[in-house]
Amino acid sequence: MCRDAEARAALAALGVACHPLPADLLCQPWEVLRADGRPFSDFASFWEAHRRCLYLPPLPRPRRLPRAPPAPAGLAPSDLNVHGDAATGQLGDHLAQHWAPGEAGAARALAGFAATGLPGFSVDRAKGDRPSTSHLSPHLHYGEVSARQVFAAAVGAGEARRAPDSLHAFLRQLAFREYGRYLAFHYPFTLDQPMLGHLQAMPWHYDVELFKAWKRGQTGYPVVDASMRQLWSTGWIHHRGRVVCASFLVKNLLLPWQWGLKHFWDTLIDADLESDSLGWQYCAGCLRDGHALSHMVDLAEEAARYDPGGAHVRRWIPTLARLPNSHIHSPWTASPDLLAAAGIQLGEDYPFPVLDMPSMRSTLDAAAKAMDEAAAEEAAAEGGRRPSQGPFRPSTRRPDLTTCSALPAFAGAQHSIGTVMNSLDNQASFSVTVDSSDGVATELGAATAGCQLSDGTQ
């Protein structure tokens, strides 16, 4: 997107008119600004302004296409060896069991979700033991379906099925995907640096062995390990699982969020830098409206909410399958006789917890206290800004809005996103606070608030 803006500016300097036809976003980053022209830095304000943007419906299929000119002689794609040797190519063969790439696969996924997934989305989206999200994030990332197509299908299905709560929840997650790109455009440093500047001095523990245990699903905490093992097998994790795994890495193990971002980039089939960096910063406490730095996800509570019957753990950690529900998420609490009956020897078949909860809580509290003191000192030096906000880093981008030309006019109705939402206000009341998530924007979503760890539209 930044390269596109730079290309338009370069073309404008040459006197060349450029008329972009963007389909990746519902609203461009330079179209959603404060009254003074500055960008927003919190999701609630962005979402309120985003709802007022004009929505352009997808263009109809062309009635006919001009004949393509003959292709020049050249090499066949197979001759280029762009995928490396056969052994390397086979590494992703197992993903074909779970995904149908391409425009046709995207169309099926969208139609299926609109028909059966959207109506119950507001209730089911936090459940990891059942299909509960759209699984559209990889298709969106690779351009196999556009945000406008997804928006139109969701609005149509939500109105037809009279599911205003689910429609609102889903469109809000689609907006999280837009927000990730918005922040990356206006605050490009956030792709690998915290938005709250004082957190650059966060006292991370650079423990490679703990990081390996997390990546391999060997932390000893089943609700974390099951999702990390699912990631290796399928290239995907439910958005709530992403939040749990991300929070565990940065808050429990106190490992840098950039390490987790890089691992997700390497392994997620829907890896999306803008959405993923938004989600990781949210969980790490690096955003003004994200989780507090001292906030630690309660794994027992998450397990009860995300996988109450243990089905997810039993699928991805079959070693624990014979444990009763009362111990499936905490095998270290089972008696020796119960473990023996389940055929489990802790430390051999499944690891003991890498760290105990009290020590992890104590370490995080000490780090949060140090960062609060640093924030207070820097805020005082900058004129007394509230320490709870931290020293905020302003946007480093000042695009020439004259190069970001408005979209050309299209035939057909144009609707404000807010108009669509307001038309449902008689059926349900909606909140614009950050309090829920799907995983649409990169599906890093969060139920503890609205965050997305890639899977934007899961």
Taking the C-alpha atoms of residue 228 and residue 12, their distance in angstroms, rounded to an integer, is 47
Taking the C-alpha atoms of residue 238 and residue 458, their distance in angstroms, rounded to an integer, is 7
Query: Taking Cα atoms as reference points, which of 363, 442, 55 lies closest to residue 205?
Result: 363
- The domain boundary residue, chosen from 358, 393, 418: 358
Cβ atoms of residues 338 and 327 within 8 Å:
yes
pLDDT at 447: 30
Q: Count of alpha carbons within 13 Å of 245, Cβ hemisphere only?
A: 34
Taking the C-alpha atoms of residue 389 and residue 375, their distance in angstroms, rounded to an integer, is 8
Task: Check whether residue 170 and residue 242 sit in a common domain.
Answer: no
Annotated ligand binding at 272? The verdict is: yes
Per the domain annotation, does 282 fall within a domain? Answer: yes
Per the domain annotation, does 339 fall within a domain? Answer: yes
Task: Check whether residue 312 and residue 203 sit in a common domain.
Answer: yes
Task: Check whether residue 166 and residue 32 sit in a common domain.
Answer: yes
The helices-and-strands tally (H runs, E runs) of the chain is 19, 2
Q: Which two tokens stand for residue 269?
A: 């089939």
Query: Quick one: which H or E segment has residue 164?
Result: helix 164-186
Query: Quick one: which H or E segment has residue 375?
Result: helix 357-381
Per the domain annotation, does 48 fall within a domain? Answer: yes
pLDDT by 10s per residue, the chain, length 458: 778 878 888 999 999 988 877 778 998 899 999 999 999 999 999 999 998 886 777 778 888 888 888 877 777 767 776 655 544 445 466 777 778 889 999 999 999 999 988 888 877 776 666 677 889 999 999 999 999 999 999 999 888 888 888 898 899 899 999 999 999 999 999 998 998 888 888 999 999 999 999 999 999 999 999 999 999 999 999 988 999 999 999 999 999 999 999 999 999 999 999 999 999 999 999 998 888 899 999 999 999 988 999 999 999 999 999 999 999 999 999 999 999 999 999 999 999 999 999 999 999 999 999 988 888 887 777 765 544 343 345 544 433 433 333 333 333 344 444 444 444 444 433 322 222 233 333 333 333 333 344 444 55
Annotated ligand binding at 356? The verdict is: no
Per the domain annotation, does 268 fall within a domain? Answer: yes
Taking the C-alpha atoms of residue 12 and residue 18, their distance in angstroms, rounded to an integer, is 7
The Cα-based distances of 408 to 172, 331, 449 in angstroms read: 26, 60, 36
Taking the C-alpha atoms of residue 403 and residue 18, their distance in angstroms, rounded to an integer, is 9
Q: Which two tokens stand for residue 303?
A: 């397990």
Annotated ligand binding at 133? The verdict is: yes
For residue 293, give the CATH number of its domain.
Answer: 1.10.579.10
Task: Check whether residue 131 and residue 209 sit in a common domain.
Answer: no
Per the domain annotation, does 387 fall within a domain? Answer: no
| Bridge partner residues of 415 (DSSP) | 55
Q: Nearest 5 degrees, angle CA 209-CA 213-CA 216?
A: 135
Q: Amino acid identity of 145?
A: V
Annotated ligand binding at 271? The verdict is: yes
Other residues' Cβ atoms within 10 Å of the Cβ of residue 86: 7
The whole domain housing 37 covers: 1-58+97-186
Please provide residue 346's backbone torsions phi and psi, each rounded to the nearest 5 degrees. -60, 140
Q: Which residues of 351-444 form beta strands (DSSP E)?
A: 415-416
Three-state DSSP class for residue 346: strand
Task: Check whether residue 215 and residue 103 sit in a common domain.
Answer: no
Taking the C-alpha atoms of residue 22 and residue 28, their distance in angstroms, rounded to an integer, is 8
Per the domain annotation, does 423 fall within a domain? Answer: no
Annotated ligand binding at 372? The verdict is: no
| CA-based radius of gyration for the chain | 23
Task: Check whether residue 23 and residue 165 sit in a common domain.
Answer: yes
pLDDT at 380: 78
Other residues' Cβ atoms within 10 Å of the Cβ of residue 416: 13
pLDDT at 352: 97
Task: Check whether residue 311 and residue 337 sit in a common domain.
Answer: yes
Task: Check whether residue 344 and residue 216 sit in a common domain.
Answer: yes
- Beta carbons within 8 Å of 163's beta carbon, 6+ residues apart: 118, 119, 120, 121, 122, 157
Task: Check whether residue 137 and residue 15 sit in a common domain.
Answer: yes
Taking the C-alpha atoms of residue 140 and residue 216, their distance in angstroms, rounded to an integer, is 28
- The domain boundary residue, chosen from 129, 155, 186: 186
Query: Taking Cα atoms as reference points, which of 454, 416, 453, 427 lies closest to residue 122?
Result: 427
Cβ atoms of residues 285 and 291 within 8 Å:
yes
Q: Which residue do the tokens 């190519």 mark? A: 89
Task: Check whether residue 170 and residue 32 sit in a common domain.
Answer: yes
The Cα-based distances of 228 to 82, 244, 449 in angstroms read: 29, 10, 22
Per the domain annotation, does 85 fall within a domain? Answer: no
Query: Taking Cα atoms as reference points, which of 24, 30, 65 lies closest to residue 49?
Result: 30
pLDDT at 92: 61
- The domain boundary residue, chosen from 306, 327, 358: 358
Domain count for the chain: 2
Three-state DSSP class for residue 54: strand
| Bridge partner residues of 37 (DSSP) | none
Per the domain annotation, does 374 fall within a domain? Answer: no
Q: Nearest 5 degrees, angle CA 421-CA 423-CA 424?
A: 70
Q: What is the DSSP letter of 215?
A: H
Task: Check whether residue 52 and residue 108 sit in a common domain.
Answer: yes
Three-class SS of 74-143: CCCHHHHCCCCCHHHHHHHHHHHHCCCCCHHHHHHHHHHHHHHHCCCHHHHCCCCCCCCCCCCHHHHHCC
Annotated ligand binding at 403? The verdict is: no
Annotated ligand binding at 184? The verdict is: no
For residue 149, give the CATH number of its domain.
Answer: 1.25.40.80
- Beta carbons within 8 Å of 23's beta carbon, 6+ residues apart: 58, 143, 146, 147, 148, 149
Task: Check whether residue 125 and residue 246 sit in a common domain.
Answer: no
